[in-house]
Structure 1
């Protein structure tokens, strides 16, 4: 798949909150994920597809309710793309909130090899 095709598929999966399906299909086994800051329970950097999938599972377990996710149209440059992801959700023990991130991805040999999030 091209970078544009991967960007389109990832955006569609995210809009439908199918994050684990996206990881299984689109991510390289040695992919890396970089968060804006280290938070309790989550390292700033996570390496390897299995670890990324576990991180997604842990995050989902912390969510009490989801009210929708929106994703901007991807912006593509060479082997990289970005979009804005907005999640309307309520974390367990917390208030309803909207989390907005700029998500930046790098593609190599038809797979996502890195993702980095900015808030």
Structure 2
């Protein structure tokens, strides 16, 4: 169990540093390109990791924890959101996926706005 925490923590640290590197390297002001890039790249990586883990019994849980939960989790949480929705769609839970997508976006933005206001913005 402790080993799993270390794998996730190490991967998360690497993912967070990679995300920060993207923010330093990409400085487009008109569009949040760095965030967009890490979200799309992270979604691609977590999709590939999930596919490998489903196809290959040798793709150990350790690698899945390190790459998907750790690196992708530190790189972006959008990748987990994407994979959860793919799983819902694969299980033909279309309504739940739609509710999850719409509510996550709307409530996420609303929560960020409320946090912005609560922290003292005018």
TM-score w.r.t. length of structure 2: 0.30
Q: Between Structure 1 and Structure 2, which shows a larger proportion of strand residues? A: 1
TM-score w.r.t. length of structure 1: 0.30
Higher-Rg member (1/2): 2
Q: Between Structure 1 and Structure 2, which shows a larger proportion of helix residues? A: 2
